[in-house]
Structure 1
């Protein structure tokens, strides 16, 4: 029997105390290890660094714990049960870590629970207790773990995990949280909101019901979980999510939530973003939590697990998260097209798309995507956004080659039936093979060429051509200002041939601070670099607003003098302005939209949502 206890022993100091009880330790001793990374977030995080102290004892007294490596300890043999006690510092306010203070407690199992090497497949139990003191009597507990031995739902007490993998895949939130409950296809769902907020409960639960039922029906089967929990921490400013087998951990800003005072006929952009996040993490319940790359079966949380398939598991999920909002009518069709255009803009503005393939981006997630520096825009392409564009093209290509009788949905349903439900790992060529099986042989050369282009080259995708089959026109034009990310337009804006420096920056009290410089841009050619603090242009002081305004007024081809500091040294740059790049995606209805309207409605209509 493996049993854990975890107690928020000191919320003010952000300390959890954990006890691990082992029934036996054999003659060769017992290795205990803490994961080095958490599934879904592909970077080594060394969670063991947060252990404050650790000790082990049996009936005879204290035992000597040996260190094996940075995250592994070894227990000596023992002829009686052993208790390992340790404290974990929890001050990582992210969906990946552990966080504890007087307002709430949250942890992922990867941050607090040792694995018992060789016994990871055994069932374990966990006692979770509230902090001591009257200030915490109203706290409740939310988790995907199964309560046992008289513990009621949302109560502190004893829980069970079928194995260590389940233990670390069910995060825990404890606080005096706000609970919103609803059912989707007969399955209980709960939205747990921690942090100060106001919310239109009915609107949120109605929208989430539609989205969750859409995803369940999309895969054409019963939901793979008995209950589901959205654990959401509401912040002044925040965004993020991490998927789990029957729950998700989310961060959102207060303005992201719907309010009863909002216009009920419109969906504000920030609420669209929150629904998109919920939709994304919920779709992961199938796509990556159960349909997995072969390299993830099982997860090796001690070492990096390399796969070139994140374009599919994150990219396809990113495609369907937004599409589901339109198909369930949570947002209207033109709001969806705006969000699609912004995704395409994100891909186009990444110079990394010209030098890194999406499969390389996936494989290098551990060292590049999750460890981005100031040169990332020039070196890295996102397997989220580029993967979503690939999924869009693949969906439309399958429809085109099958006379709109099949789509990417059919591929996903086969992946669920043949891989996810039976826990068979997806190989690098699995999706390609299924697509070929689902399409006419006469189309196979085109499909093979598409996959070669999309996955293993940096050549552009046929997005414009495929969207034209929907009666949509896609154009890339210069951004109108630094906040312009494109969108749906009734008619395409005119190209004003504005000048541009080719850099990203943030405002400072005295000028602007350069965040990144695009390769071969006017700023790059002039020698301006990330970290430079620019303070003047052509002899006049600048700030963020005046900088933008003055640049727009300079004709293409003219030069300007820019002065700034690099570290504590004054620098002067002579910049020859060039025309702004056509890197902003705009979508509009084509002149022949009526000819393709049935395809467009079939693509976005709720009847094609998986029912």
Structure 2
């Protein structure tokens, strides 16, 4: 590696005050001054987060003498010219317990590089070193470090000196420090590990075995793991969920109850979801971190970078994350179809799917998907969930039209060989042409309808080609996620709302366009307190409505702000927007197609 001219030192100086202390030293003289900037967003998260707001103190010096610093805008500083090396000293407040920010307290420390490391302009491709130091208090003597930054003298999982070939590599390797547990395993000859932080009780041997199966499957699909090792950084909390991909690791957050229990035979819903999260972020090692849109090759972390291809990079990943679980033998085909039915349900319940295309959803991620308001379900569709259904439809279309000779698996493998391995970005229209070339069939009509249209996808027809029945029913309660057949006599009218989950009040989170509540004048933020004079809460709303039928009229009392209002609501029948899938009797070619689809063969 070339000589490092950029050196960082980072230390949790005041864990109780949530402050990391950082020094940036630039060896080259800055005779014309030096501009420094802080990233506004993190790769993989399409939202401006303005990390510079957390810088609470900043000063500069050269050869022991102060250097004047002027702030130019919300995330940029200008240091005055100096003839010696420039040292910048600053503190960053870190109290964002998520996979996208930085968090520090006396129990652990975690950071993404974009939130703590200033970038020296003009040195984006300069090799750099980082000295990760422990807190000075002896009480933290058992803390360790987990990161995929290459060591430059530091012992494995220890504080010390690490390196990166560029600023981009530096900020794409998050760091966890603390008294985490280490779960290690091998997949296809490559070392893997999970650093697990937080309070929990779990069968970690089972977790290691299941993760290995997931990793084995994904490496087998692409043919190789493009990293020397892989690390899952996982924080177990009481209530939380999320993941963020990096080049050779991922940051995960889960409920502690989502980890496997001793004696568990089949994965319960929570553990199944966690395995899906791990699978999703691991798949990103290929799809988005290396197979990526051309605009992501040299992105600017200070401003939005738009692409219409997120349906492919997040949607296809969302398709494969749970498909990998059944192909790896971790869940049954019936369990997978339940998950797929829930995915279809999420899309079917969003009126915005008829207003925004999945290509538009991709392009507008910065301003719509990641900045949702109370009208979001009526105006937008997610490129994650709708993109996953596009991937499903594309896969089944290719399988059907080529009589099982080609599939989306072939497309992903070819994308890796042509683009990922060669570090070539791909354009929007180029992507569609490449898929057609690999599949050997014309798909222009499919892409026009699926990506640039707002009609529902022909999933019933496509799923029947693999012997899977597609069924729609009405939702049975506010918590009905779909994926399962109807319960006897469970259907009843609803108000066409979703309630806020974090309160006992019946507070409206969303009111769906054209449904009973919105037509009567109820809106998001209203708190329903009575129906026909009966006290109403989040817990009894469904029970109260079960006494009514479609066409019935009722008086709804609700608070809007501090004003009590009365609304006359005419109930509509609950629409059939809840999907469940079944394994139908199949034989011959249909059975063969289903076996290849769910088994990953063919």
Taking structure 1 as the reference length, the TM-score comes to: 0.96
Report if the CA contact (8 A) 2:507-2:538 is conserved.
no
Structure 1 pair 535/475, CA: closer, same or farther in 2 (3 Å)? same
Aligned equivalent of 1:529:
523
Alpha-carbon distance in structure 2 between the residues aligned to 1:225 and 1:90: 29
- Counterpart pick for 1:9 among 8, 13, 20: 13
Structure 1 pair 279/135, CA: closer, same or farther in 2 (3 Å)? same
Deviation at 1:78, TM superposition (A): 1.2
Residue 159 (str. 1) matches residue 155 (str. 2):
no
Aligned equivalent of 1:93:
97
Residue 518 (str. 1) matches residue 515 (str. 2):
no
Residue 474 (str. 1) matches residue 470 (str. 2):
yes
Structure 1 pair 327/60, CA: closer, same or farther in 2 (3 Å)? closer
Aligned equivalent of 1:345:
345
Alpha-carbon distance in structure 2 between the residues aligned to 1:476 and 1:594: 27
Residue 49 (str. 1) matches residue 43 (str. 2):
no
Alpha-carbon distance in structure 1 between the residues aligned to 2:58 and 2:490: 65
Deviation at 1:589, TM superposition (A): 2.7
Alpha-carbon distance in structure 1 between the residues aligned to 2:321 and 2:540: 38
Residue 578 (str. 1) matches residue 582 (str. 2):
no
Residue 171 (str. 1) matches residue 174 (str. 2):
yes
Deviation at 1:12, TM superposition (A): 0.3
Alpha-carbon distance in structure 2 between the residues aligned to 1:80 and 1:506: 57
Aligned equivalent of 2:260:
258
Residue 237 (str. 1) matches residue 239 (str. 2):
yes
- 1:319-368 per-residue CA deviation (whole Å, 9 max, x = no partner) reads 00000000001111110010000000001011110100011111111111
What aligned pairs does 1:395-406 form with structure 2 within 5 A after superposition? 395-406=395-406
Equivalent position SS for 1:86: strand
Structure 1 stretch displaced more, 586-595 or 240-249: 586-595
Taking structure 2 as the reference length, the TM-score comes to: 0.97
Deviation at 1:438, TM superposition (A): 2.5
Alpha-carbon distance in structure 2 between the residues aligned to 1:552 and 1:251: 37
Structure 1 pair 305/511, CA: closer, same or farther in 2 (3 Å)? closer
What aligned pairs does 1:519-598 form with structure 2 within 5 A after superposition? 519-590=513-584, 592=586, 596-598=590-592
Report if the CA contact (8 A) 2:407-2:439 is conserved.
no
Deviation at 1:28, TM superposition (A): 2.2
Residue 182 (str. 1) matches residue 185 (str. 2):
yes
Aligned equivalent of 2:210:
207
- Counterpart pick for 2:201 among 172, 195, 198: 198
What aligned pairs does 1:388-427 form with structure 2 within 5 A after superposition? 388-427=388-427
Report if the CA contact (8 A) 1:471-1:595 is conserved.
no
What aligned pairs does 1:120-519 form with structure 2 within 5 A after superposition? 120-149=124-153, 151-220=154-223, 222-262=224-264, 264=265, 266-440=266-440, 443-444=441-442, 447-489=443-485, 498-506=492-500, 511-519=505-513
- 1:161-205 per-residue CA deviation (whole Å, 9 max, x = no partner) reads 010000000000000000000011111101110000111121111
Structure 1 stretch displaced more, 69-78 or 236-245: 69-78
Equivalent position SS for 1:459: coil
Alpha-carbon distance in structure 2 between the residues aligned to 1:589 and 1:15: 55
Aligned equivalent of 1:603:
597
- 1:521-547 per-residue CA deviation (whole Å, 9 max, x = no partner) reads 110000001111111111111122322
Alpha-carbon distance in structure 2 between the residues aligned to 1:511 and 1:417: 54
Report if the CA contact (8 A) 1:511-1:536 is conserved.
no
Report if the CA contact (8 A) 1:6-1:19 is conserved.
yes
Aligned equivalent of 1:117:
121
Gaps of 5+ in 2: none
Alpha-carbon distance in structure 1 between the residues aligned to 2:349 and 2:582: 20
Equivalent position SS for 1:87: strand
Alpha-carbon distance in structure 2 between the residues aligned to 1:178 and 1:303: 37
Alpha-carbon distance in structure 1 between the residues aligned to 2:282 and 2:439: 29
Report if the CA contact (8 A) 1:234-1:254 is conserved.
yes
Equivalent position SS for 2:145: strand
Deviation at 1:509, TM superposition (A): 7.3
Equivalent position SS for 2:469: strand
RMSD between superposed Cα atoms in Å: 1.5
Deviation at 1:261, TM superposition (A): 3.3
Structure 1 pair 113/508, CA: closer, same or farther in 2 (3 Å)? closer
Give the total of aligned pairs.
598
Gaps of 5+ in 1: none
Deviation at 1:494, TM superposition (A): 7.0
Aligned equivalent of 2:75:
71
- 1:481-518 per-residue CA deviation (whole Å, 9 max, x = no partner) reads 222222154xx767876212100113787741111100
Aligned equivalent of 2:27:
23
Deviation at 1:76, TM superposition (A): 1.8
Report if the CA contact (8 A) 2:34-2:78 is conserved.
yes
Alpha-carbon distance in structure 2 between the residues aligned to 1:286 and 1:280: 11
Equivalent position SS for 2:539: helix
- 1:273-329 per-residue CA deviation (whole Å, 9 max, x = no partner) reads 110000000000000011111111112101100011110000000000000000001
Deviation at 1:460, TM superposition (A): 1.2
Structure 1 pair 270/594, CA: closer, same or farther in 2 (3 Å)? farther
